[in-house]
Copies of this chain bind each other. A is one copy, B any other.
Amino acid sequence: MSIDTLKLRSVRIDTYHENVAYLNRECSIYRAEGFQALSKILVSANGSTLLAVLNVVDDDSIVLPGELGLSQQTFEHLHLDEGTLAKVNHAEPPKSMDAVRRKINGENLNQGDFTDICNDIAETRYSKMELAAFLVASGQNNLDRSELLFLTRAMLQTGEQLNWHEPLVADKHCIGGIPGNRTSMLVVPIVAAHGMLIPKTSSRAITSPSGTADTMEILSNVNLTPEQMLEIVREQRGCLAWGGTAKLAPVDDLLISVERPLGIDSQGQMVASILSKKLAAGSTHLIVDIPVGPTAKVRHMRQALALRKLFEFVGDRLNIHLEVMITDGRQPIGFGIGPALEARDVLKVMNNDPDAPADLRQKSLQLAGRIIEFDPDVRGGQGYAIARDILESGRACAKMNSIIKAQGEKAIDLEPGKLNYQVCADRDGVVTQIDNFQTAKIARMAGAPMEKKAGVDLLKKMGDKVSKGEPLYQIHAEFQADFLFAKKLAQQNSGYSLGDNEQILKPLTAF
């Protein structure tokens, strides 16, 4: 073994998206190369290379001098055995950081610049700091719409792309921020029952109390291999899978992993993120749902319109048939917030239960109707009626059952979390506002989405009359600590505003 090779060793530390390498301080290479903790190093073994952040170890039980420890995901990523010989070198900063620095200096970048940046990001050559620098430099109004097109194209091209070999592959996407908004679980079976291809992949919750994948997981398996998904979609015309396993637009995931903790999200990044993912998934026709309301992501109609234009500009140039629906985002959709509670709402709508939440049903039918009208054989204006017919006839329910069976049925348990607390009205009046952020935060504190049965169950919605002391909503939790946190938060700010009838905010979409 030459002086400059090390034996690979798996260190059972989970460092998530960040590659970490561990070198013993007594290791001769560490000393010779003048590495420093946190410096980035290039690891090469058996023809593979990766970049990792260096941690220096003073404990021989973690790594010995002569060994190169790698954190779990990093080690697995290499697909090599422990003991394989590896080399380490100083990592050069990614070349495309020059372009990022030009952007910081206010220059416009071209397609080649964005392609280089996305290639380097996809090859995990960017540290979290470098990703943050790129995001801030290209955030807000710093990208013009041509640059946004270049970025979207580059994000699309740096990952795999699915091809369904059909002329019409439908999809829908909501920009998010509205708790309980589980329309996909109704839209997919309706549209698939109509015969259109709708291979829907969804995310799990990151900052919300539940994502469509979390809620669908109450009913069926959602972790499908690409092969399973292909087969299910071929048979059922649709699926409701978790999108995390596919390698579609991987740059998007890496950017989001920095954007979220920083709490920065620009409209441009949102458009690039959504369209690159949808195009990579092989979608040809897409409905984008933009909810507008005082506690939604988009608060003003003019913002929604500007965002629509951005979606249209980029979508048209990347050859996707895209329509934007601006919807009512003044309050959560449905009653339940949290995986099991939301699944209950979905099933009620699916079963045409008279207690089903009307807003969830209505919005799902509108979205499904718009998608069905992508079908050239459907007359303009007929989509909604077709969707309603599919739902009311039980065909949507039958299709959903087939999809659930195909993905892997689960023993359904919709019983909400056993600890519960009612938040009550402090006056007589009418519900004038329900805060999307606050109700989502309370549901999350209660344990959603990790605890499937935890969350918030809304008993009153906007416009409902309430008497003093009457319950507005109920918190469900599984664990005492979560329960107390959520209760405390609800006591500080319930998220409900009560007033007189005329104080109800008009839907912004009506302006």
Report which A residues bind B (CB closer than 8 A).
Answer: 4, 11-18, 20, 22, 25, 32-34, 36-40, 55-59, 61-62, 71-72, 93, 97, 101, 104-106, 127-133, 135-137, 139-141, 258, 261-264, 447, 450, 479, 481-482
CA distance A350 to B32 in the complex (A): 33
Question: Measured between C-beta atoms, what is the minimum distance from A17 to chain B in Å?
Answer: 7
Question: Measured between C-beta atoms, what is the minimum distance from A441 to chain B in Å?
Answer: 12
User: Whose C-beta in chain B lies nearest to the C-beta of A18?
Assistant: B38
**Quick check: B32 and A104 within 8 Å, CB to CB?**
no
User: Whose C-beta in chain B lies nearest to the C-beta of A20?
Assistant: B55
**Quick check: A16 and B32 within 8 Å, CB to CB?**
no
Among B13, B17, B101, contact of A59 (Cβ-Cβ < 8 Å): B13
CA distance A97 to B34 in the complex (A): 35
User: Whose C-beta in chain B lies nearest to the C-beta of A449?
Assistant: B34
Q: Which residues of B contact A20 (CB under 8 A)?
A: 55
Among B22, B40, B481, contact of A13 (Cβ-Cβ < 8 Å): B22
**Quick check: B13 and A55 within 8 Å, CB to CB?**
yes
CA distance A16 to B16 in the complex (A): 19
Among B12, B39, B131, contact of A62 (Cβ-Cβ < 8 Å): B12
User: Whose C-beta in chain B lies nearest to the C-beta of A479?
Assistant: B32
**Quick check: A11 and B59 within 8 Å, CB to CB?**
yes
Q: Which residues of B contact A140 (CB under 8 A)?
A: 104-106
Among B71, B133, B141, contact of A264 (Cβ-Cβ < 8 Å): B133
Nearest 6 pairs of A and B residues by beta carbon:
A12-B59, A16-B37, A132-B132, A14-B56, A12-B58, A136-B136
Question: Measured between C-beta atoms, what is the minimum distance from A480 to chain B in Å?
Answer: 9
CA distance A258 to B128 in the complex (A): 11
Given contacts A12-B59, A34-B450, A106-B140, contact A93 B129 (CB under 8 A): no
CA distance A104 to B262 in the complex (A): 12
**Quick check: B16 and A261 within 8 Å, CB to CB?**
no
User: Whose C-beta in chain B lies nearest to the C-beta of A34?
Assistant: B450
User: Whose C-beta in chain B lies nearest to the C-beta of A266?
Assistant: B104
Given contacts A104-B136, A136-B133, contact A261 B58 (CB under 8 A): no
CA distance A135 to B20 in the complex (A): 24
Among B14, B57, B481, contact of A58 (Cβ-Cβ < 8 Å): B14
Q: Apart from A12-B62, A13-B59, A34-B447, what 14 extra A-B contacts exist at CB < 8 Å?
A: A12-B59, A13-B58, A14-B37, A14-B56, A14-B57, A14-B58, A17-B38, A61-B61, A104-B140, A127-B261, A129-B261, A130-B132, A132-B133, A136-B137
**Quick check: A129 and B13 within 8 Å, CB to CB?**
no
CA distance A415 to B228 in the complex (A): 70
Q: Which residues of B contact A25 (CB under 8 A)?
A: 14
Question: Measured between C-beta atoms, what is the minimum distance from A438 to chain B in Å?
Answer: 16
